[in-house]
Structure 1
């Protein structure tokens, strides 16, 4: 099959999956489905940049366009492309192409690192590690096999009695195809025992849970089995920011969720996420989100 014909079939399959997602998400929404880790997304207009955290997983744009900013790198991805995130990472994301008649449609599937490792071991991929420079987020042409598996996963939402039995198997297929494709080297970096990328990934997982605690750089470096200077170098190479900046983004995003979901006031939210100074919290919040806490939350709720 020539490449033009293959691309034609791929776009046809993407259109079909977009139609299914459109039926499952009839209005502007982020639908968290009954399949663990799978969410479906629809927007009828462009969105403002939103700070969020991407974890290990794959995102696919089915219609419209989206852009993700990681540090100073801008990553657009459109129908026919897939985005894989290998570690927990603060990013800025927004929809760049959408309209009422042709809304943005997309999906994201969170992956489990233990399952990724088990599948890689079964495929005997541990010896196929490359020395490519690690990138925490990669955009690659969408693999036809991955697309077909994603379609079958979405179709399970119409047969919920099969979800518990079949969804884990389809997820493993998706992981296997990702490992064997263009995204494979980045996923293998994270699961390769003892690699710097894996050590940093473990640190990121720890920080995601313990971001309220005061940071001691020497302790983090020791846990990663690196010198402080080497640790900082690898941390910045993976995340595009320093450990302190990473912790700050985790704290501020957690505070934003507390104010939005639990109606907690700004001063209390700052204290709950680890800030001792309310003025410092307000200042850093404004720097990240563009407005002071109360004004930002009011704007989001309008």
Structure 2
């Protein structure tokens, strides 16, 4: 057995009991597959009894900790694995592809998701102090090793769900500790930089947020660069370093995801959804939709609804 295998075995043994408890608590709180809200507004529990196909998804800023099974997130050919030994942090909104790779009815995929509030991170940094800066600008997501203090803090938050009267006072304390454990972890500086004003990463995070707010409007790179106090060339270079896309490509994906939501949730026809998100040409919308989601709008939505009925 080599040193890496021994280290991983020791890590699994050390986390065995707490992870078993975390998996049990998530399983008891999720009677069926899907994403389940909890009494803590930013906390969601996810369950899946089967692996899933690759699916384009808009990831909001979040922390994902897996108790059982595994999943991958893919961004422009880069793959990030998260499982009971590795958690995922998404620090800016990113259109990605997600796939649950390990799940079964006997051992379903069980995951805890915390939606990240950048203001909470910024307030915590003021108290904890900034972490060591990175050498350059990084992707807006990363996977890092779970450690015992982080797992312990997550468990204490989950246990609070059994005592609702304690949640208003103790849940914010537990959440604060979880964020702190992430910030002082091996890659926490990357989340730190995105929350700290006047860093390059923070300016890109601001550009991402402005695109989200104005995705229906014609894109002016000049205005966007001025809004975040960057040159056009610097904005292009650093935006792509964080998101793997140009601002225009990013806006296009935001529009396509919103059109999909309008069709799936609100029942709007493809042509009307295309018009609502800023497409003047239905044929262009259909081509770009198929390129991203793998099928034309109408047939892809029909397939999703058919799968939901079968499930």
Tell me if both proteins adopt one fold, taking TM over 0.5 as the criterion.
yes
Q: What is the rounded CA distance, in whole Å, between the counterparts of 1:26 and 1:77 in structure 2?
A: 23
Contact 1:150/1:174 (<8 A) preserved: yes
SS in structure 2 opposite 1:158? coil
- In structure 2, which of residues 103, 115, 132 is the aligned counterpart of residue 98 of structure 1? 103
- What residue is the counterpart of 1:209 in the other structure? 213
RMSD: 1.6
Secondary structure of the structure 2 residue equivalent to 1:182:
coil
Checking the alignment, whether the CA contact within 8 Å between 1:14 and 1:80 is kept in structure 2 is: no
Q: Which residue of 2 aligns with 1:168?
A: 172
* Structure 1 residue 157 corresponds to structure 2 residue 161: yes
The secondary structure found in structure 1 opposite 2:161 is helix
Residue 72 of structure 1 contacts residue 240 of structure 1 at CA under 8 Å; is this kept in 2?
Answer: no
Distance 2:272 2:85 in 1: 44
Over 3 Å counting, the alpha-carbon distance change for 1:6 and 1:293 in structure 2 is closer
Q: 1:114 aligned to 2:119?
A: yes
Equivalents in 1 of 2:29, 2:175: separation in Å?
Answer: 20
Cα distance in structure 1, aligned partners of 2:170 and 2:82: 29
Give the C-alpha shift of residue 273 in structure 1: 1.4
Q: Deviations over 1:37-75 (max 9, x none)?
A: 111111111101121122222101111110100122011
TM value normalised by structure 1: 0.95
Q: Distance in 2 between matches of 1:147 and 1:210?
A: 38
Q: Report the counterpart of residue 14 of structure 1 in structure 2.
A: 19
User: Where do residues 27-66 of structure 1 align in structure 2 (5 Å cutoff)?
Assistant: 27-66=32-71
Report the secondary structure of 2:63's partner residue: strand
Q: Which residue of 2 aligns with 1:296?
A: 300
Which residue of structure 2 aligns with residue 270 of structure 1? 274
Contact 1:255 1:270 in 2 (8 A): yes
The separation in 2 between residues aligned to 1:254 and 1:6, in whole angstroms, is: 41
1:75 to 76, 80, 86: 80
Distance 2:195 2:135 in 1: 14
Identify unmatched segments of 5+ residues in structure 2. Answer: 1-5, 307-311
Shift of 1:6: 5.5
Q: What pairs up with 1:128-207 in 2 under 5 angstroms? A: 128-207=132-211
C-alpha displacement of 1:200 = 0.6
Please say if residues 70 and 103 of structure 2, whose CA atoms lie closer than 8 Å, have aligned partners that are also in contact. yes
Poorly superposed stretches of 4+, deviation over 4 Å = 2-7
Query: Quick check: 2:274–2:285 contact (8 Å CA) kept in 1?
Result: yes
Number of aligned residues: 300
CA contact (8 A) 2:137 2:200 kept: no
Which of 192, 212, 234 does residue 230 from structure 1 map onto? 234
TM-score calculated relative to the size of structure 2: 0.92
* Offset of residue 140 of structure 1: 0.9
The equivalent of 1:88 in structure 2 is 93
